Amino acid sequence: MATGGGLVIFGAFRNKATIKMFNKRTKIKALLATEPQNQEVIVMGWVRSFRNNQFIALNDGSTNNNIQVVVELGLLDDATLKRITTGASLKVTGELIASLGKGQKVEIKAKHLEILGDSDAEKFPLQPKKHSLEFLREIAHLRFRTNTFGSVFRLRHSLAFAVHQFFNEKGFIYLHTPIITSSDAEGAGEMFRVTTLPFDNAPRNEDGSVNFKEDFFGKSTNLTVSGQLEGELGAMAFSEIYTFGPTFRAENSNTARHLAEFWMIEPEMAFHDIEDNQNLAEEFIQYLIRYAMEHNMEDLEFLDARLAEEEKQKPQNERAEFGLLEKLRFVVDNQFERITYTEAIQILLDSPHYKKKKFKYDVSWGIDMQSEHERYLVEKHFKKPVIVTGYPAAIKAFYMRLNDGCEPGRQTVAAMDILAPGIGEIVGGSQREERLDKLEKRMAEMHIPAAEMSWYLDTRRFGTVPHAGFGLGFERMVQFVTGMTNIRDVIAFARTPKNCEF
Ligand code: 4AD
Ligand code: MG
């Protein structure tokens, strides 16, 4: 193996003129912003449409705007012309000229056209017309080639990039927490088991239970539901860390906001209390939206128009009050509402909605608010994102810090959920219980095996500090920014109950 230095020298000696290069193309997004001076350009992309045997709309995924390639009469024989069909891939060399047609500033006058890959027009499922999102979900392997999914996935990319930029600017350490784990971070038991044991002939203990000592890891393991617990270990050394990775939940919820495999961003901060936690989460969400507005306006405008079109199909009283861009601007320009759980319950109890018995699920102090309650608070009552704090301890995870001085029978924890219009819960977080005695007591009450969690408790034994963190569901954030109503449409290949295609 050459040393690093050797490799650099090798690179420097390579003569540019002798490098053979197939990819001398310019991306369509860049070409569309170039001043046309009859310069020769090369583009490669997929045909979106071909009109009059003359005008090709070509797309390479860099933008929704196609470049028009003009094929003059006589340039290509009939056989080649027939092969220019929707979905076919082309390499075109030609002159970049000012366009006389409407809708574009520049176009390419083709001098040479090569078909890289044919696409049988009879069989290609995407035609230049509107397809339903349900249909596109069935051909998710091809839907990236539509305008809607082009915009959604460029935005998803941008938001992921912005996540790293936000935390990097603040000096947080990106910690890769494990995917396979032996703990149930949330204690909710919604885990996918990881095993190499033969399931029809698993080794058994004397009492008949499965003997996991014989399994790959010598113990029972599962896919992680959250990187938080390991994140806390990192925060106890680096002060501030974040994780950003896939998480898995075997919840049998077939809804428009649940996935069995989703991506979560989990910052964890030493020396932060629940107020600091709320401030960071609010700043983070606003930063992501602002980033998208600064870098992806074209795609946001496309999705804004798409949503407006969709809204028109709905009856007047079901239409959203804001357009997509209007909503995003509102969220970055206004502070989130902050209320306690107790106040939230009171608002629900006082609401005309409750009095007219319009909630399916009953409301009383102690309930785990249902999505209908959360949506009432954000969409009808406050009409903006709301941070709810101080949830009943009984409905929250073992690691959340017990609030001091609660009314008898109303023990709360320093939890916070952020509820967003159209989405419901987008963030869940808390200040953590840093007091060893209190944490051990709570774990015992909730039947969390302390012996197996000794590594976690060590953080409380050696230099414990007040700390806090939260988890932002990345797909729910992408839904919020793109206005897509179904979570299956903001992840490349959705995993949901009874569905794991591609
Ligand atoms: O509220 P959750 O369960 O919180 C945690 O996992 C904590 N450990 C986070 C922390 O404090 N570090 O999940 C956090 C967020 C939710 O608010 C939601 O946005 C998203 O993750 N989420 C899901 N997204 C898609 N599909 C699912 N099944 C989801 N479950 C949670
Ligand atoms: Mg939650």
Ligand 1 centroid to Cα of residue 242, in Å, is: 14
Distance, CA 281 to ligand 1 centroid (Å)? Answer: 14
Q: What DSSP assignment string belongs to 231-285?
A: HHHHHHHHSEEEEEEEEE------STT--SEEEEEEEEEET--HHHHHHHHHHHH
Q: How many residues does the chain have?
A: 502
User: Which of 23-27, 107-111, 478-482 is predicted with the least confidence, judged by mean pLDDT?
Assistant: 23-27
Distance CA 447, CA 59 (A): 57
Separation between Cα atoms, residue 290 and residue 377, nearest integer Å: 24
Asked whether residue 171 carries a pLDDT value surpassing 60, the answer given is yes
Could you give the domains of the chain? 19-129 (2.40.50.140), 147-190+225-489 (3.30.930.10)
What residue's CA is closest to ligand 1, atom 1?
428
Question: Mean pLDDT across the chain, nearest whole number?
Answer: 94
| Nearest alpha carbon, ligand 1 atom 7 | 471
Q: What was the pLDDT predicted at 387? A: 98
**pLDDT tens digits for range 148-168:** 999 999 999 999 999 999 999
pLDDT over 60 (residue 466): yes
409: phi > 0 → left, psi -120 to 50 → alpha, else beta; which?
left
Instruction: Name every protein residue with a CB atom under 6 angstroms from any ligand 1 atom.
Output: 185-186, 226, 228, 249, 251, 258-259, 262, 264, 266, 425-430, 469-471, 473, 475-476
- The DSSP code for 378 is I
Ligand 1: atom nearest CA of 426 is 19
